[in-house]
Structure 1
Amino acid sequence: MITIGNFFFTYRNILFIVLYLLLFIPSPMLFSPEVFGEKYYLFPIILGLAVTFAGELIRGITIGLAYIIRGGKDRKVYAEKLVTEGIFRHCRNPLYVGNILMLLGVGILSNSLIYVAIVMPLFLFIYQTIVLAEENFLRNKFGVDFDNYCKRVNRWLINFNGLSETFSGMQFNYKRWILKEYNTLLVWLIGIFALLLFTYPQVVPDVNSRNTLFGVIVVFLLLVYGYIKYLKKSGKMTDSMA
């Protein structure tokens, strides 16, 4: 499993893009009008948005409180230090939990039975192998410190006890959240609006208005993305708390 996890870690960015694109393949409905009535589309929209935004909320809070190097080194698992503060006090993999919820939420939003029933279990398997590979690296590097951390903190479940103390004892770095997350946010938001507008014509019945609205949204998001990228590259925005 560790060998498989190292393989998935190396190619995870490509794999996750492919998994994201699978949102748009034809599929039987998760919520059908035959079962849920004329307003069936409200169920995947409300539930899907709630779940996917919960995932980004978890990611945002995690990154803003205590950032952990996610990219590895030379496309291999890597860590400079054992991060145990912030949300990592309450869950060993909060970023991955956030990713899972984000993808599950857009899967529900797409109203795709195939995505929720087949793609999501595949996604969970990939993440489990990646986590096992990461844990093997961390155990070899940090030894007993990592073992003690594992005894205190669950791999996947978030322990909400003591969250208020964590928040009060640390300062949320919103600049770091923006600078580390703006790539993810762009793809995620474009996907959400595409699903809302083109999966549910009930939202905007007129085709021309729908296409125009989506175009305006994409242009706006790209402009915001470009501006943040400019601020980052120019050094006018950094993740410094000063």
Structure 2
Amino acid sequence: MAFIEELNQQGNFLFRWRSYIPGLVLAFSLAYLPSVPFFGGVYTKNLYWLGLAFSVSLLGLAVRCFTIGYAPARTSGRNTKQQIADLVNQTGIYSLVRHPLYVGNFLMYLGPVLILRDVPFTLVYIMFFYLYYERIIFAEEYFLRGKFEKEYLAWADKTPAFIPKISGYVKPTLSFSFKNILKREYPSLFGMIVVFTLFDLIQVYFQEPFLHVSEITGIWKLFHSVFFGFGAMFYITTRLIVKTTKILDVEGR
């Protein structure tokens, strides 16, 4: 098998599992977390650092939401079985960067990594993300180049793959759809809330040794009730709407 075909095969394999394999980053982070002291030595100060890290993840989600808010049907999707694209997105954020959803993913996973406050671990994460998504991007662009040929090449020639350019923004042809965002991204927000709640609980358990795992009321603080409670209510409500109604359906999206 030619190397280019091997890269494409690897990329398609990783593409199918792209929602799960980055979870390894979270698993390694969790394994390292017990040795990480509170920021500033106290829980209240640690919440500020947690908030900063969450803001980075939230920025990543915002990038994804901005992308999906203007995305037409059968593009920028969560499909895993095969590559799907009815057209080459060239407007909106796609006029600045070719893979904005992966930019968003990078920032979303970077947030929990930053909780560790460990530069070498952060650099390892960046390297892992690069090597992992490089294959996926190769497979996607291999597919798009084969399907759209010159149209794709002309767009790719002037648009960077991952680091957005700061000029040349082209207004999207479709209107912004908040409904489309809710329908497609509500699991992402809840997933972030679950991860940050879990990270904080683990830090509390290991940094406040007078608490024990059986004393869940001692580990579970007011912050967790508010933060996780909001996420759970949002997720359950939105999921019920998505699964039982057509309120969030948008024609052409």
Counterpart for residue 117 of structure 2: 111
Residues 1:186 and 2:195 aligned together: no
Matched-pair identity in %? 24
Structure-1 separation of matches of 2:218 and 2:41: 23
Counterpart for residue 15 of structure 1: 21
Choose the corresponding residue for 1:53, options 38, 58, 61.
58
Uncovered stretches (5+) of structure 1, i.e. residues with no partner: none
SS of structure 2 residue aligned to 1:111: coil
CA drift of 1:200 comes to: 5.6
SS of structure 2 residue aligned to 1:97: helix
Counterpart for residue 166 of structure 1: 171
1:14-53 equivalences under 5 Å are 14-26=20-32, 41=46, 44-45=49-50, 47-53=52-58
CA drift of 1:81 comes to: 1.9
Residues 1:135 and 2:144 aligned together: no
RMSD in angstroms over aligned alpha carbons? 3.4
Equivalent AA in structure 1 for residue 50 of structure 2: I
CA drift of 1:93 comes to: 0.3
Counterpart for residue 203 of structure 2: 199
Cα distance, 1:95–1:115 mapped onto 2, change above 3 Å: same
1:86·1:170 contact (CA, 8 Å) conserved in 2?
Answer: no
Residues 1:233 and 2:250 aligned together: no
CA drift of 1:148 comes to: 0.2
**TM-score of the aligned structures, taking structure 2 as reference length:** 0.77
Equivalent AA in structure 2 for residue 184 of structure 1: S
SS of structure 2 residue aligned to 1:91: coil
Structure-2 separation of matches of 1:62 and 1:152: 19
SS of structure 2 residue aligned to 1:119: helix
Structure-1 separation of matches of 2:177 and 2:210: 42
Equivalent AA in structure 2 for residue 232 of structure 1: V
Deviations along 1:10-50, one digit per CA (max 9) or x if unpaired, are 222231233333321126978x78xx965784784354233
Structure-2 separation of matches of 1:176 and 1:19: 28
Equivalent AA in structure 2 for residue 13 of structure 1: S
1:27·1:113 contact (CA, 8 Å) conserved in 2?
Answer: no
Structure-1 separation of matches of 2:219 and 2:59: 27
Choose the corresponding residue for 1:78, options 63, 74, 84.
84
Structure-2 separation of matches of 1:185 and 1:38: 29
Uncovered stretches (5+) of structure 2, i.e. residues with no partner: 1-6, 212-216
CA drift of 1:122 comes to: 1.3
Structure-2 separation of matches of 1:230 and 1:178: 12
1:8·1:130 contact (CA, 8 Å) conserved in 2?
Answer: yes
CA drift of 1:184 comes to: 1.4
Residues 1:64 and 2:69 aligned together: yes
